[in-house]
Amino acid sequence: GAVVSQHPSRVICKSGTSVKIECRSLDFQATTMFWYRQFPKQSLMLMATSNEGSKATYEQGVEKDKFLINHASLTLSTLTVTSAHPEDSSFYICSANRGPGELFFGEGSRLTVL
Amino acid sequence: GDSVTQMEGPVTLSEEAFLTINCTYTATGYPSLFWYVQYPGEGLQLLLKATKADDKGSNKGFEATYRKETTSFHLEKGSVQVSDSAVYFCALSEGGGADGLTFGKGTHLIIQP
């Protein structure tokens, strides 16, 4: 079946540094990908919609200058957490849309900012 | 805005017990409804879905019926197995899944042999 891969699965960084997380659709092309953030014991919260070849659409309250999203190809979207701080520590999950109702999720990336 | 409320866990059952995980939603339009499952160490997987009122989604022995009158989409299984232990997420989409999903908090299910 369809597979979406995220990398890295875990990352630890120092406060003030930037971290890039990749989301790849391995066996299909995805014009749209989504980035979610999950806090412990909380829902997955949609952060932004990543559209291939155009700017991402951010949900209300999500800082677009903090969370940079690039969808440069039909199989790759990246999320860069810039100048990370401890409050950015979270579980980040991407999903890729193969078609209407066909959403496939990555395994998630756990970011810890020291 | 849209929201999904599902029962808090963990839910602990014995093998072969009957399972119900409640899910209710609020939405401005006519959403599609989904149940996703996350096994330990894996990404979310679509378990079942329903796109309109009275539709029943089913997969792997799990069922859920889209009840518009009660704005609910409860997940049921007649006889659970240890391998069903996972976190289950109820979710909705106003765009049939073409847009982002609104998720519930997830329910951790533990099945004991």
A3/chain B closest Cα distance in angstroms = 10
In this predicted structure, the answer to whether residue B63 has a pLDDT above a threshold of 80 is yes
What share of chain B has pLDDT > 90, as a percent?
78
Residues 5-24 of A with CB under 8 A from B: 6
pLDDT of amino acid A86 = 95
Q: Do B43 and A106 touch (CB under 8 A)?
A: yes
CB of A107 within 8 Å of any CB in chain B?
yes
Q: Of B41, B36, B44, which is closest to residue B6 (Cα–Cα)?
A: B36
Average pLDDT score over chain B? 92
Total CB pairs under 8 A between chain A and B: 57
Strand bridging mode A10-13 / A109-113:
parallel
Per-residue pLDDT tens over the stretch A40-82 = 777 889 999 998 888 899 999 999 999 999 998 999 999 999 9
- Angle A56-A5-A85 from CA coordinates, rounded to 5°: 60
